[in-house]
């Protein structure tokens, strides 16, 4: 600090009122807030109707919530001069649009603070309203409108997208059932290794029509630039992509492929458990005790887990589980193979093995084989396009789950979509260049 140049104290500059066209004339510190008396800097004494000079008539006051300092709410008390035209008798007020929108209750600096608090600080809207000393509805309407204008409505927001991720997401739990939305993610930064994924949009519903309609709303040049779409096993997303993005490659996400195999393993284990013991798994049953070990990759098993599996597969009674577990491990090994060509060959071998000659009793593997055969090109496409997976999409889903808990649920889908985009839309660098 020895080389710093200090200037005289200036409350106008300290409170950031220079850009608002205001100057501080007084201050009042209350236990619950600070009030700054301000006046408008520019006179604005020319008539907007006839262009003649006006004379001061009287003054009015206007209150604006401003960004807090030290978490103490700050209120601006503006003294606004009114003029009367000497020719046409028109009466008008000084222009305060630099400080706030007409009829707004929050200053532009306060809106900026609230937007940064939501996007960068991940605060709840209740905390933002508390910091501004306004009602929740006032803060929510103003901050979301500012976010829509400044960030979400940016016409260049979708530029440069070449890889999409699409998945479903539960946005609200009700007594009438879960409410679903479709989330569309930009996976281009992840594929290129330049940054994290970002949320592009949230569409109400989880159907082919929901995703197809969203794609139809994009211009043809943008759609032609999409190279790949990562998705789960839902056929609706696949059909919508094929119809609207015929040149794009559909990639079935490794997470969902492995989950299909894991579900087959669980179903086989439960079926064998019922056939052998006549009841579901209980504490002490070998199959039940090994349920988590069976889902662990073979290269990550501890010595104790190896011993548990050796005991489980020592006899012939659990041979169906052993065969299903073997397929599950081969699929994991294919995705973990550092050689993409080798992993693709292994996965192709697994699909072929499940398509041809699976014994009738292994109903779970036969079902898995039909699914993989139907989506074989999508499953194998991943090995030609590394990092094109829905893993980042699931990460965004997790952030939206956190947002829903932070807000204690959402009743309004429009508010939820706006908050979701501000939360995970990748806007932090625009508001805070250092992030």
DSSP H or E stretch at residue 182: strand 177-186
> 40, 90, 33, 30: which is closest to 61 by C-alpha?
40
Q: What is the pLDDT of residue 389?
A: 83
Answer for the pair 167, 232: CB distance below 8 angstroms, yes or no: yes
Q: How many CB atoms lie within 10 A of CB 73?
A: 21
Which residue is associated with the tokens 């006032």? 138
Which residue is associated with the tokens 């211009």? 219
Going from N- to C-terminal start, the domains of the chain cover 11-152, 163-253+389-431, 254-384
Q: What SS3 state is found at 194?
A: coil
Give me the helix-helix angle, 363-374 and 254-277, nearest 10°: 160
Alpha helices by DSSP H, listed for 293-390, are 303-312, 319-336, 340-355, 363-374, 376-384
CATH class of 163-253+389-431: alpha beta
Determine the length of the chain: 435
Of the CA atoms within 13 Å of residue 160, those in its CB half-sphere come to 11
Q: What is the pLDDT of residue 108?
A: 95
Q: What is the pLDDT of residue 413?
A: 86
Alpha helices by DSSP H, listed for 120-249, are 125-132, 136-147, 188-192, 208-216, 220-224, 235-244
Cα(first)–Cα(last) distance of the chain, in Å? 25
Torsion sign over Cα 422, 424, 429, 432: positive
Per-position pLDDT tens, the chain of length 435 = 566 788 888 899 999 999 999 999 999 998 889 999 999 998 888 898 888 989 999 999 999 999 999 889 999 999 999 999 988 989 999 999 999 999 999 999 999 999 999 999 999 999 999 999 999 999 999 999 999 999 999 989 999 999 999 998 888 766 666 688 999 999 999 888 888 899 999 999 889 999 999 999 999 999 999 999 999 888 899 999 999 999 999 999 888 899 999 999 999 999 999 999 899 988 888 999 999 999 999 999 999 999 999 999 998 999 999 999 999 999 999 999 999 999 999 999 999 999 888 898 999 999 999 999 999 999 999 998 877 888 888 888 888 888 888 877 788 888 889 999 999 999 998 887 765
The predicted model scores a pTM of 0.84
Answer for the pair 34, 69: CB distance below 8 angstroms, yes or no: yes
State the virtual CA torsion across 351, 353, 354, 358 in degrees, nearest 10.
170
Give me the helix-helix angle, 319-336 and 363-374, nearest 10°: 30
């Amino acid at each position: 600090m020895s080389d710093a140049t200090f200037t005289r104290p200036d409350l106008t500059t300290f409170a950031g009122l220079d850009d608002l066209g205001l100057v501080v004339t007084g201050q009042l510190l209350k236990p619950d807030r600070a009030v700054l008396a301000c006046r408008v800097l520019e006179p604005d004494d020319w008539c907007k109707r006839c262009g003649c000079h006006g004379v001061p008539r009287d003054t009015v006051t206007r209150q604006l919530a401003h960004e807090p300092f030290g978490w103490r709410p700050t209120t601006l008390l503006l003294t606004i001069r009114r003029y009367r035209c000497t020719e046409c008798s028109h009466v008008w007020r000084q222009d305060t649009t630099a400080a706030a929108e007409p009829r707004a209750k929050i200053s532009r600096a306060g809106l900026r603070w609230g937007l940064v608090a939501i996007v960068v600080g991940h605060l709840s809207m209740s905390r933002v309203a508390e910091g501004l000393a306004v009602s929740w509805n006032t803060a929510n309407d103003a901050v979301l409108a500012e976010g829509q204008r400044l960030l979400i409505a940016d016409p260049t927001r979708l530029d440069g997208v070449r890889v999409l991720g699409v998945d479903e997401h539960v946005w609200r739990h009700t007594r009438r059932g879960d409410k679903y939305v479709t989330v569309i993610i930009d996976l281009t930064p992840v594929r290129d290794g330049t940054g994290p994924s970002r949320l592009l949009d949230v569409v109400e519903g989880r159907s082919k029509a929901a995703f197809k309609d969203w794609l139809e709303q994009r211009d043809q040049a943008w759609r032609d630039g999409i190279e790949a779409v990562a998705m789960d096993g839902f056929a609706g997303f696949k059909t919508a992509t094929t119809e609207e993005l015929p040149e794009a490659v559909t990639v079935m996400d490794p997470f969902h492929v492995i989950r299909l195999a894991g579900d087959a393993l669980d179903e086989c284990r439960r079926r064998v458990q019922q056939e052998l013991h006549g009841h579901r798994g209980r504490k002490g049953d070998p199959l039940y005790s090994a349920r988590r070990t069976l889902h662990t990759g073979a290269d990550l098993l501890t010595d104790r887990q190896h011993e548990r599996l050796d005991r489980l597969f020592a006899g012939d009674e659990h041979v169906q589980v052993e065969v299903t577990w073997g397929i599950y491990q081969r699929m994991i090994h294919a995705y973990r193979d550092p050689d993409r060509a080798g992993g693709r060959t292994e996965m192709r071998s697994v699909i072929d093995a499940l398509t041809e000659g699976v014994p009738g009793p292994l109903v779970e593997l036969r079902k898995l084989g039909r699914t993989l055969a139907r989506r074989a090109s999508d499953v194998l496409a991943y090995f030609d396009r590394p990092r094109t997976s829905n893993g980042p999409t699931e990460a965004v889903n997790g952030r939206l789950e956190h947002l829903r808990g932070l807000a204690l649920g959402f009743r309004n889908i429009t508010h939820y979509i706006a908050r979701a985009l501000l939360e995970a839309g990748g806007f932090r660098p625009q508001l805070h260049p250092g992030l």
